[in-house]
Chains A and B, each alone.
Chain A
Amino acid sequence: NAGVTQTPKFRVLKTGQSMTLLCAQDMNHEYMYWYRQDPGMGLRLIHYSVGEGTTAKGEVPDGYNVSRLKKQNFLLGLESAAPSQTSVYFCASSPRRGHSVYGYTFGSGTRLTVV
């Protein structure tokens, strides 16, 4: 049981380049999330999805787009990378909204550097 898998684990981009981060979960969870983690800050929600074909903006959505074409996959896209997007990105999933007693399962993260 792999849980939540993120690819790639590391990436260096030049300013203006684009890329897609892939998140895959095998737990049949309805909800999926993308967070970014920066030094000295708590995790911040970028976008989330409450089901296949749906997406919604989180706290810091600017510069990112997402898609949830399949229930098990949640893609995070950077159309034109900026140095401010240098961060560690975490994907998470849950079987229902977070106020339930079920916890979130996090992936291992993608460390992205934009130069």
Chain B
Amino acid sequence: KNQVEQSPQSLIILEGKNCTLQCNYTVSPFSNLRWYKQDTGRGPVSLTIMTFSENTKSNGRYTATLDADTKQSSLHITASQLSDSASYICVVSLVYGGSQGNLIFGKGTKLSVKP
């Protein structure tokens, strides 16, 4: 079954610190991997999209990496800010979608940045 697993479930860090969120997937055939940020009470917003041929992609202080061989991705946040407090969702896209559609969603990592 196609699955996306994220770790940790939740994370608390101090403002200004860096952190790394993990994503492992068992999705085939794989098309691309996305990281979304979801603020409380809001819909997910896309941070990065990587195809299987891309190893890294940055969006400001957010850097995503992808290892298609080991089926692992990470999202690194540099110099965290209070506004980074949110859930971060790893989403893998299938080449051909079944009843799940094209996107397989992880459960998310809830990040809390404290002053």
Contacts and interface: CB of A to CB of B under 8 A. Distances in A.
Interface of A: 4, 33, 40-45, 48, 57-59, 90, 92, 97-99, 101, 103-104, 106-109
A45 B100 contact: yes
Contacts of A106: 43-45
Contact of B101 (A58, A101, A108, A109): A58
- Majority-rule SS of A interface residues: loop
A101 B32 CA distance: 8
A57 B107 contact: no
Interface of B: 4, 31-32, 34, 41-46, 49, 51, 89, 93-97, 99-108
17 contacts: A33-B101, A43-B44, A45-B100, A48-B101, A57-B99, A58-B100, A59-B99, A59-B101, A90-B43, A92-B43, A98-B31, A98-B94, A99-B102, A104-B44, A104-B46, A108-B42, A109-B41
A42 B87 CA distance: 11
Given A99-B31, A99-B94, A42 B99 contact: no
